[in-house]
């Protein structure tokens, strides 16, 4: 970059960087949502099983 007069053209690397940042945060938020949804389903199934067991 010696004797350089204009900024280097590094826009593509910037786009990759921000895609990774937004992507990683988005994926983590999605994982929280999916795990929460699955646990709620489990809880609903367990609530269904209990009366059946009590009823014999």
Kindly state the smallest distance separating residue 25's Cβ from another protein, in Å. Answer: 7
DSSP assignment of 12-50, as one string?
A: HHHHHHHHHHHHHHHHHHHHHHHHHHHHHHHHHHHHHHH
d(CA 28, CA 20) in angstroms, rounded, equals 12
Token pair of 23 as six digits: 């992507």
Interacting residues with another protein between 1 and 56 (CB under 8 A): 1, 4, 7-11, 13-14, 16-18, 20-21, 24-25, 28-29, 32, 35-36, 39-40, 42-43, 46-47, 49-50, 53
The residues binding another protein (CB under 8 A) are 1, 4, 7-11, 13-14, 16-18, 20-21, 24-25, 28-29, 32, 35-36, 39-40, 42-43, 46-47, 49-50, 53
């Amino acid at each position: 970059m010696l004797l350089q007069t204009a900024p280097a053209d590094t826009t593509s690397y910037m786009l990759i960087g921000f895609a990774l940042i937004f992507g990683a945060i988005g994926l983590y938020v999605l994982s929280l949502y999916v795990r929460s949804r699955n646990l709620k389903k489990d809880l609903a199934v367990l609530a269904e099983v209990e009366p059946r067991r009590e009823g014999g």
